[in-house]
Structure 1
Amino acid sequence: MALVDYPSSDEEQSTPSKDQTTLPLKRKRDKDTSPDLPPLPSKFYDLYASTTRVSTRDDPSLHGGRKRVTPHIEGNWPTHLYIEWYPSTAEYVPLTNVISTLKGKFSPVGEEGEIHSFLTSDLGAPLPLHISLSRPIGFATEQKDSFVDSLQSAIKSSGIRPFNISFAGLDWVANFEKTRWFLVLRLQKPEFDELNKLLHLSNQVVQEYGQPALYTTLPMPARDLKRKSTSKKTLKTFWDDMKDVSVSFHISIAWTLTEPGLELQELTKAMVTDHMKDLSQIQVKIEEIKSKVGNLVTNISLPRTVSVGKGLFGI
């Protein structure tokens, strides 16, 4: 069967009938009354996960005054582990209201104090939001594929299944270098502590490859990591040294280059009072984590079922 039935040359030259003349109008009405198209899958956005490179050096003027905090090393692949969330239109509303209200009431001194939103691009297109599971790290070419394989294997056998998260409040936090401050949504601790488990697991894998862990100052020696990830005698204790860093998990929704002063902090407290009820009703379903190595994004799904007694970490 043909995908499109094109008219013959004779049909094109003939005088259209009454039914033919009304057909385009009917199709237009059908189009106007058709239901909304389904949302694009998240993998579609992964194809455009990086912006166009417009400079070969660090130029803060190209991106709102931000400075590169992790120096670029030729031959290294910048890497980041994270959870991505695409808010629905309804979920964007309370988030947008918080930032708009804050901008409307806050009068910064100079451009560096300006509040910038993470919710939309410069053209107004909605953007995804993130929960970080690693610092910005970098891998040599010969390591990057092996790292992703190791992470996929660890997640698959971890027993960490899809879960929901909700919001606990608003706050301002700085990056490690204190060159930017972020307006963040604090997260409620999930029922089975999945965020801490995902972070713990991610930290173990990145440290095996000589990379720094996130939200910890006590990296585990490489020899211990190798033993824990391969020895059957210690698999059941994999989570024993997991730290509770629930207060560190967040989703950034805006940023500024200057440390929030008293005025901005007080306004943020007011936002919590006025908008937290709407924000607390949002439930975010977490079904996968993402590994971005260079421009390549790998989606790693959380296992939905786990065979009893066959998990790598004995859970």
Structure 2
Amino acid sequence: MSSLNLINTYSSDSDEADENNKSLPLPDSILKWQGVVHHTTIIDDPSQHGGRIRTFKHERGNWATLIYTNFFWKISDVPSVFMQTWIETIGNQLSITGNTCFEQFHISFTRTLILKYHWIESFVDSLKKLCDKMSQFTLKILDFKLYCNEEKSRTFLGLECYNRDGILDQFVLALNNLLTEYNLPAFYEEASYHISLLWFLGDEKENLKRLIPPLTTKLNEFLTEYPEESYIHVDRIECKIGNKIYNFPLRSDHLK
């Protein structure tokens, strides 16, 4: 019970108390105080965001957090015209309707985490120190692969990527150690780094898995024609906490 409620409900036990045992009146100075809302209930409305369902309850002081790198083709902050056109063509050829992730192309290095507000400053500082020690690296696109989130509420059609020199594995291992310090879950034990291109509501892996072989054939044909699209150079790591994004450059090659 708050101090205001205690004041409001307190009644005198002395013999001089009012025979009706009424509550003591609040002083004018307290009556003028303006309270603040301690907790506002946020109701998830899937219709406002393509049918997607929040995977964890929104609570005051909890911040959705993700560590990743954006997926850039060449020097542009958006996919190349060739890749955009190709992805749209692939999406139009599918027998099931999906949603393109053009505004969210990225490669995740953590699960979606729940970070406490009072952790943010130290967490960001620790992540910066970790990135200061890491070198830039290159990812190679391998093939198409299907992914489903733990809640089975969405299925993703993505491009699996691979880092040959092991720098990414070292980074994720160090990142997992950092997450342990905050009692946060590590990345998936059998991590599959990928760029999600299309997403579908529900668990559609059975309906989509038959499409993987022909899609991979189309991917190989595309990369043969545009070999430069096979590689992704990662020169920075990003961390999104709530609606704020932190950017951490990695060491350039000449600093190795």
Report the TM range for the smaller structure's normalisation: 0.7 to 0.9
Equivalent residue, structure 1, for 2:112: 136
| 1:223-264 deviation per Cα after TM superposition (whole angstroms, max 9, x unaligned) | xxxxxxxxxxxxxxxxxxxxxx46x11110110013336553
1:71-103 Cα offsets, whole Å, 9 max, x none, are 211112221111112334773523542443343
Report the TM-score, using the length of structure 2 for normalisation.
Answer: 0.73
Residue 207 of structure 1: how far off its partner (Å): 1.4
Deviations 1:107-141 (A, max 9, x none): x4xxxxx211002xxxxxxx251111111112222
Letter in 2 for 1:115: G
1:147 aligns with 2:132: no
1:205 to 178, 181, 188: 178
Q: 1:303 aligned to 2:247?
A: no
Please give the alpha-carbon distance, in whole angstroms, between the structure 1 residues aligned to 2:205 and 2:114: 34
3-state SS of 2:188 partner: coil
The aligned residue for residue 115 of structure 1 is 98
Counterpart of 2:130 in structure 1: which amino acid?
Answer: A
Contact 2:72/2:79 (8 A) holds in 1: no
- Is the Cα–Cα contact under 8 Å of residues 94 and 275 in structure 1 kept in the other structure? no
CA distance in 2, matches of 1:215, 1:298: 23
CA distance in 2, matches of 1:58, 1:254: 23
TM-score, structure 1 as length reference: 0.60
Q: Is contact 2:91–2:198 with CA below 8 Å preserved after alignment?
A: no
Kindly indicate whether the alpha-carbon contact (under 8 Å) linking 1:133 and 1:199 is maintained by their aligned counterparts in 2. yes
**Conserved 8 A contact 2:147-2:205:** no
Gaps of 5+ in 1: 1-54, 109-113, 120-126, 217-244, 309-315
Partner of 1:170: helix, strand, or coil?
A: strand
Number of corresponding residues: 209
Aligned residues of 2:42 and 2:58 also touching (Cα < 8 A): no
Find the aligned partners of 1:261 and 1:161 in 2 and give their Cα distance.
Answer: 36
Query: CA–CA distance in 2 between the matches of 1:287 and 1:90?
Result: 16
Q: Corresponding residue for 2:66?
A: 80
Distance 2:94 2:175 in 1: 40
Q: 1:279 to 1:178 in 2, by over 3 A?
A: farther
- Aligned counterpart, 2:154: 180
Q: Which residue of 2 aligns with 1:40?
A: none
Query: What is the 5 A alignment of 1:273-284?
Result: 273-279=217-223, 281=227, 282=229, 283-284=231-232
Aligned to 1:71: 57
Assess if the C-alpha contact under 8 Å between 1:167 and 1:279 holds in 2.
no
Secondary structure of 2:80's aligned partner: helix
Flag the structure with higher strand content: 2
Tell me which amino acid in the other structure corresponds to 1:162.
Answer: Q
For 2:14, the equivalent position in structure 1 comes to: none
Q: Residue 235 of structure 2 is aligned with which of 287, 294, 312? A: 287
Q: Tell me the residue number matched to 2:209.
A: 265
Which blocks of at least 5 consecutive residues in structure 2 are unaligned?
1-40
Q: Which amino acid in 2 is paired with 1:117?
A: T
Q: Does 1:255 align with 2:199?
A: yes
Match status 1:93 vs 2:79: no
Distance (Å, rounded) in 2 between the aligned partners of 1:105 and 1:298 = 36
Is the CA contact 1:172–1:260 (under 8 Å) kept in the aligned structure 2?
no
User: Does the CA contact (< 8 Å) of 1:70 and 1:136 recur in 2?
Assistant: no
Out of 150, 159, 169, the residue aligned to residue 143 of structure 2 is 169
Match of 1:57?
43
Query: After the TM superposition, which segments of 4 or more aligned residues of structure 1 sit over 4 Å from their partners?
Result: 305-308
- Is the alpha carbon distance of 1:294 and 1:192 closer, same or farther for their aligned partners in structure 2, counting shifts above 3 Å? same
Structure 1 partner of 2:11? none
| Separation (CA, whole Å) in 1 of partners of 2:79 and 2:243 | 30
